[in-house]
Amino acid sequence: MADEAVDTGAEEGAQEGAGEGGSSLLTGAEGADQGAEGKVEESAVGEGKEGEGQGEDKKGEGEEAKPNAPEAYDFKLPEGFEGELNQDAIGEFEPIARELDLNQEQAQKLVDIYTRQSQAAHQKQIEQYRETQEQWVKDLKSDAEFGGAKFDANIKHAQRAIQEFGNDGIKSLLDQSGLGNNPDVVKMFAVIGKRMAEDSPGQGTERSSQREVPLEERLYPNMYPKK
């Protein structure tokens, strides 16, 4: 009897536990039924939500996303900059901006960055050019054979050669390229100018009884036989 009482008590405890929990399949039939009913309802609700989601997805697939890129970009120089935009660079950039679907504001920011970087690089080149020109002049003035007290006279010789042989195109090239201050170029023209001065009448040489020697013979005597 004692064993039956224990078993009966265990069964009653199990039934009470099943009635209170009702969410575990292992605690009794009543709990299993309630759990099954809950699962059926939950499954039905879930299927309804899934169907609604699929409908929304299909609706979204039918609509095309509106592009961010405008029909035509209107690029401008950043504030404080003067001049014009590099149209060649803009022509290459615009298709890329459209491919990336950039709006006007986003694309303009990239144009601003490019403009500032290009301006900075250009300004650096100008500064380097000026520094080079100044250094060339200093080198000529300090040159042992060309500069010092002989600097002004040598420059006059070089300028005389330019006036004699250089046309407007050569003069413009020397000025715009900066080669007009290049030590090697200046020295070359100074040598030519000196030869012109040495071979000119009235410079202390006895030429009154001699024929006038053509300029090309004076510059390149080794190429012409002596007469």
Residue 179 pLDDT exceeds 50:
yes
Query: Comparing 130 with 222, which gets the higher pLDDT?
Result: 130
**Per-residue pLDDT tens digits for 16-50:** 444 444 433 233 345 445 554 454 445 544 454 55
pLDDT of residue 207 exceeding 60: no
Supply the pLDDT for residue 27: 31
pLDDT tens sequence across 56-88: 555 455 567 788 999 999 999 999 898 899 999
Distances, alpha carbon 136 to alpha carbons 39, 78, 81, 132, in Å: 92, 37, 32, 6
- Structure confidence at residue 40 (pLDDT): 44
8-state DSSP, 67: P
| The token pair that represents 81 in the structure block | 């900059």
- Residues 45, 49, 51: CA angle, nearest 5 degrees: 115
How high is the mean pLDDT of the chain? 76
Residue 136, amino acid: W
What three-state secondary structure class fits 158? helix
* Contact of 30 with 19, CB cutoff 8 Å: yes
| Global pTM exceeds 0.75 | no
* 3-state DSSP assignment of residue 145: coil
